[in-house]
Amino acid sequence: MTGLLSVLQYDFIQNALIGSLLVAIMCAITGTFIVIKRLVFLSGGISHGAFAGLGAAYFLGITPMLGAMLFAVLSAVAITGVIIRQSQPADVTIGIFWATGMATGVLFVYITPGYVPDLMPYLFGDILTISSQQLFWMMVFSLISLLITALLFRQLLAVSFDDEYARLQGLPVGIIMVILMIMNSVAIVMMIQAVGIILVMALLTIPPLIGLTLAAEIRTVMFYAFISAVSITIGGLAVSFLLDLPSGPAIVLLGAGILMIVKLSARFTQASRT
């Protein structure tokens, strides 16, 4: 325990802890709406679409996360447009973006001249490598997400639960969906540094599922999701340090374990009452 506390003096550990809190905010806000709307698979398509942006950024010599952000937002808008127009099944569109995003990213990395970059941190994450600049942008987006959620909470909730009913109430469902998907895409890119493209769906999904198991009122669900995300990210970080494991998989596996315990406890409690 002494060794674990002694590492808190290092800047990269402090950055990782602050990053964990900011990731938790994104999980609690965006993740809850995505889980309620059942768009987790769509998040996977966006995250893999972001990989194309990473590859293109390496090829063009620009900041990788900037390329990932651009491609993620464009993928989110394109997929949302197909879903709203219902021009073809949503799962087909998401599957196309999922596969072509990865393929495009790999192709760009392959044709980039010179040194081939190590993509493991982007695929599986490494929260210990979060920089102060990345923390700044994570903080900015977290504040923007909180502001948008506060201003459009009822609209986002209505569209997440039943977009047909929301449309009958006169709400601009298409615009609200685009806003939600852009929030989702930016959150995904911000969380790539923590758990990577392949595992980001789990981190976006597990805390809200824990919250939905423990509560029914959405604000309370978000609160539990935030507490769960903080516990999962910081706990996973501690486990990775103590056992010398990669932080991304450690965070996700700890989250899956906690979700299983919460689900079993809720089922046992419900059974004991009947």
How large is the average pLDDT for residues 126-132?
80
What does pLDDT average to over the chain?
A: 84
Q: What is the pLDDT of residues 133-180, one digit of tens each?
A: 888 888 898 899 899 999 999 999 998 888 888 888 888 888 898 898
pLDDT score at 257: 93
198: domain CATH number is 1.10.3470.10
Whether residue 188 is contained in a domain is answered as yes
Whether residue 118 is contained in a domain is answered as no
Within 112-246, residue ranges assigned H as helices are 120-124, 132-161, 163-168, 173-214, 218-243
pLDDT score at 85: 75
Reported as a pLDDT band with limits 50, 70 and 90, residue 5 is low
* Boundaries of domain holding 247: 2-112+124-265
Whether residue 94 is contained in a domain is answered as yes
Q: Are 200 and 31 in contact (CB under 8 A)?
A: no
Whether residue 220 is contained in a domain is answered as yes
Reported as a pLDDT band with limits 50, 70 and 90, residue 210 is very high
Number of folded domains that form the chain = 1
Q: Which residues neighbour 128 within 8 Å (Cβ) at sequence distance 6 or greater?
A: 12, 13, 16, 237, 247
Q: 23 is written with which tokens?
A: 């990731």
Among residues of the chain, what percentage have pLDDT more than 90?
16
Whether residue 244 is contained in a domain is answered as yes
Whether residue 274 is contained in a domain is answered as no
Whether residue 117 is contained in a domain is answered as no
What percent of the chain is helix, strand and coil (3-state, nearest 5)?
A: 85, 0, 15
How many other C-beta atoms lie within 10 A of the C-beta of residue 64? 18
Whether residue 272 is contained in a domain is answered as no
- H-run or E-run covering 86: none
Least confident window among 16-30, 83-97, 169-183: 83-97
Q: How many residues does the chain have?
A: 274
